[in-house]
Amino acid sequence: MTRPVPDRAAIEAALDEAYQAGLAKCAHGHVATYIPELARVDPSLFGIAVHTVDGVTASIGDAAHPFTMQSVSKIFSLSAVIEHSGERVFEHMSTEPSGDAFFSIVKLEEEKGQPRNPYINAGAILTSDHLPGVDAPDKIAHFQAFLGRASGLEAAAFPVNEAVFRSEAETGHRNRALAEIMRHHKVISDVEVAVETYFRQCAVTCTAEHLARIAMFLTNAGADPLTGEHIITPANAHGVLALMATSGMYDEVGSHAIEVGLPSKSSVSGAVLAIAPGRMAIAGFGPALGQKGNSIGAMKALGVLSKRLELSVFR
Ligand code: DON
């Protein structure tokens, strides 16, 4: 049975409750510090944005505050890559959860430089390397153009935060090590291009309101429900979402499935994007992270929204 899309009044009431519950959690988290520039972010920021397939938009709190996409970018680079060159990126990557931290190096050497999935760092670096273009600026321009097309905004709405890019480029030794292992196994060809593209992609700026808008194509089998524009094929949208459900929340994918029940993707900058297929995209932003590196405020808020609006795909 197809469930109805909640109306504005229901969404606003649920958003209010979710915001209060999420905000209360934020005091118990900490911002990411391993990228020095991220350590400067205010941990009390918190906001949520909703876009429905019927064109209802609603937001609360710091939903227009800019942040760097970090790992949320991985679902859009995968979308852009498979739309451009099909399954080629999966010739050297599987689609299984890793069971390890997103930055882990352990299985990569054991598994001959083949990342477990596109949402851990190794898989995302490989995916970034597959963006069309001859060098990192070229590949990032393609990525930004994809975001522009998906959101109906200008690509310029998604600039690279140069300070965050430099900060990660100067300190991202483990990501370079992942790329070197993949280079050793001939899975990528140029470490510098791959990591520069990945670091720049992670430093692309957006807001919760923009994030929910960009992701609308994932609510509607790859087409923007508001304009009808084809963004990616239905089969590709299915794959991107399925991987979000199995690997989008790292080591909290199980509890998130129980509490929220929506394909989701988190980032160390504090974003959690959740997709209710056929209904809405929800973007939470709260840079205070819990022990597993996911935004505790956004996860709590998504749990409340999912219950109030009956969104879980497992119900
Ligand atoms: O590679 C990194 O460490 C960051 N640029 C992105 C990591 C990230 O967002 C993981 N998400 N939870």
Per-residue pLDDT of the chain (315 residues; tens, 9 = 90+): 577 899 999 999 999 999 999 999 999 999 999 999 999 999 999 999 999 999 999 999 999 999 999 999 999 999 999 999 999 999 999 999 988 888 889 899 999 999 999 999 999 999 999 999 999 999 999 999 999 999 999 999 999 999 999 999 999 999 999 999 999 999 999 999 999 999 999 999 999 999 999 999 999 999 999 999 999 999 999 999 999 999 999 889 999 999 999 999 999 999 999 999 999 999 999 999 999 999 999 999 999 999 999 999 998
Pick the closest to residue 108 from 122, 118, 96 (CA basis). 122
Sequence letter at residue 243: L
In order of 143, 179, 217, the CA distances from 138 in angstroms are: 9, 19, 24
74 is catalytic: yes
Q: Residue 60 and residue 210: Cα distance in Å, rounded?
A: 13
Record the pTM.
Answer: 0.97
* Catalytic site residue from 41, 250, 264, 269: 250
Pick the closest to residue 281 from 216, 230, 217 (CA basis). 216
Tokens 């670096």, residue located = 125
Ligand 1 pocket (Cβ < 6 Å) reads 70-71, 102-103, 121, 168, 175, 202, 266-268, 293
Q: Are 205 and 72 in contact (CB under 8 A)?
A: no
In order of 13, 16, 238, 265, the CA distances from 20 in angstroms are: 11, 6, 33, 22
> What pLDDT was estimated at residue 1?
56
Helix axes 73-85, 121-129, angle to 10 degrees: 40
> What pLDDT was estimated at residue 288?
98
Eight-class DSSP state of 280: E
